[in-house]
């Protein structure tokens, strides 16, 4: 019985020792083998691996995927125009030298991020202070990101990491001057609006003056044309009267007497209405009372 127990205990002990010598490396990880506190080997290929049992050798795993470092606190940065900007950024990085990474930051990714953050912030400050607000926001945005990436490249090699990308997420004015900038923009827009209103009023006055001038010209031309037509009409009437009077002098003398008689009355309503069927008109049509 004791022999069986001993055999079972020995088998379990052997199984535990054997399991402690085996480990699996995932394709997303580095495996760092320590031998008495010293880095013995870095395993980069995935699969089943062997090592000596603890305490002779231990294994630590590091993530070799791309990591993201965000700006923890947005601090104001002064541009070349002495304008204060708040810039939010992020850095994409990954481990490419596990030994250098462990020597500088240990096995914790947070230690590396705490050391890398001020380096990135300092590089960003140097790039932003050389440019204007317009450049940081629009024209030189890509140049700022490339400059920051180049500046932190050497420090990244010392940390055993590779910088994959640097990006600016947000650029804004500091909270203390946001309201002042807004007021200045409002004043500028108000000035432009007043200028447009004054320009519009001047144009309106110009249009009204031109319209009045055209009105006077049109009235004058219409009066001229009317007078010309009246003159032509009077001339035509005079011509017709002359031709008619020339054909029958007796009737012309009668018409003049009748016109003088009619003009002697003040109102047209006082003019005697003559019936064309009276004996007087009949006599005139027949050549007089005697019929001659």
Of the chain, the percentage scoring pLDDT greater than 90 comes to 29
Distance of alpha carbon 137 from alpha carbon 53, whole angstroms: 57
Which tens digit of pLDDT belongs to each residue from 66-108?
999 998 777 788 888 888 888 999 999 999 988 889 888 888 8
Across 196-218, average pLDDT: 92
Q: Does pTM surpass 0.75? A: no
Long-range contacts of 37-42 (CB under 8 A, 24+ apart): 39/99, 39/102, 42/98, 42/99
Kindly calculate the radius of gyration of the chain based on its CA atoms and give it in whole angstroms. Answer: 56
Residue 214: pLDDT over 50: yes
Residue in 102, 85, 147 with CA at minimum distance from that of residue 120: 147
Geometric angle at alpha carbon 162, from 157 and 166, rounded to 5°: 115
Which tens digit of pLDDT belongs to each residue from 134-154?
888 888 899 999 999 999 998
Which tens digit of pLDDT belongs to each residue from 18-40?
667 888 888 888 888 888 778 88
């Amino acid at each position: 019985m004791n022999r069986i127990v001993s055999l079972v205990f020995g088998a379990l002990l052997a199984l535990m020792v054997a399991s402690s010598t085996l480990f699996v490396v995932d394709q997303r990880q580095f495996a760092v083998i320590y031998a008495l506190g010293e880095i013995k080997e870095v395993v980069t290929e995935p699969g089943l691996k062997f090592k000596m049992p603890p305490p002779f050798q231990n294994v630590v795993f590091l993530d070799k995927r791309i990591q993201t470092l965000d700006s923890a606190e947005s601090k104001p940065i002064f541009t070349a125009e002495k304008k204060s900007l708040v810039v939010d950024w992020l850095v994409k990085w990954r481990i490419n030298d596990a030994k250098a990474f462990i020597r500088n930051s240990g096995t914790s990714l947070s230690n590396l991020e705490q050391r890398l953050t001020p380096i990135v912030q300092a590089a960003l400050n140097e790039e932003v202070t050389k440019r204007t607000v317009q450049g940081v926001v629009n024209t030189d945005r890509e140049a700022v990101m490339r400059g920051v990436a180049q500046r932190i490249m050497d420090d990244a090699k010392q940390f055993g990491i590779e910088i994959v990308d640097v990006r600016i997420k947000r650029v804004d004015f500091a909270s203390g001057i946001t309201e002042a900038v807004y007021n200045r923009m409002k004043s500028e827009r108000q000035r432009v609006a007043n200028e447009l209103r004054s320009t519009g009023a001047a144009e309106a006055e110009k249009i009204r003056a031109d319209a009045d001038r055209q009105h006077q010209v049109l009235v004058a031309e219409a009066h001229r044309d009317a007078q010309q037509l009246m003159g032509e009409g009077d001339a035509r009437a005079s011509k017709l009267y002359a031709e008619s009077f020339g054909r029958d002098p007796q009737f012309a003398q009668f018409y003049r007497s009748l016109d003088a008689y009619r003009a002697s009355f003040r109102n047209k309503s006082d003019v005697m209405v003559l019936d064309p069927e009276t004996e007087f008109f009949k006599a005139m049509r027949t050549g007089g009372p005697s019929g001659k």
